[in-house]
Amino acid sequence: MSVTVFVPQPLRVHCNGAATLELTAADVRSALDELSRSHPTLYRGVCDETDAVRRHINLFVNREHVRDLDGLSTTLKSGDELVILPAVSGG
């Protein structure tokens, strides 16, 4: 099943400037695994050395935060959108 991954501007340097990527994945963890193979530096921007999603990165599937769904086990269907959204802070 094909899903669209939306890449935020600060991380696009890791995927040749692409704003979106098309992946085949059954769940969010599988999508991240695919990113680790196809775009390893982008994956490292999303996940840390323990393969956990970085604290300042939020993942959404079709406007729903994965923490409100089934976390990384959230099932993906063809046509779903996975959005990588870094937290914004400052003062």
Structure tokens at 86: 């870094």
pTM of the shown model? 0.91
68 with 91: CB under 8 angstroms? no
- Kindly indicate the confidence band of residue 77, based on its pLDDT and cuts at 50, 70 and 90: very high
Cα distance between residue 55 and residue 80, in whole Å? 23
Structure tokens at 12: 């696009």
Q: Residue 57: left if φ>0, alpha if ψ -120 to 50, beta else—which one? A: beta
Task: Provide DSSP, 40-83.
Answer: HHHHHHHB-TTSPBPTTEEEEETTEEGGGTTGGG-B--TT-EEE
**Model pLDDT for residues 3-54, shown as the tens digit of each residue:** 999 999 999 999 999 999 999 999 999 999 999 999 999 999 999 999 999 9
Q: Judging by beta carbons within 10 Å of its beta carbon (0-12, 13-18, 19+), is residue 12 exposed, middle or buried?
A: middle
Q: Could you give all domains of the chain from N- to C-terminal order, each with its CATH number?
A: 2-86 (3.10.20.30)
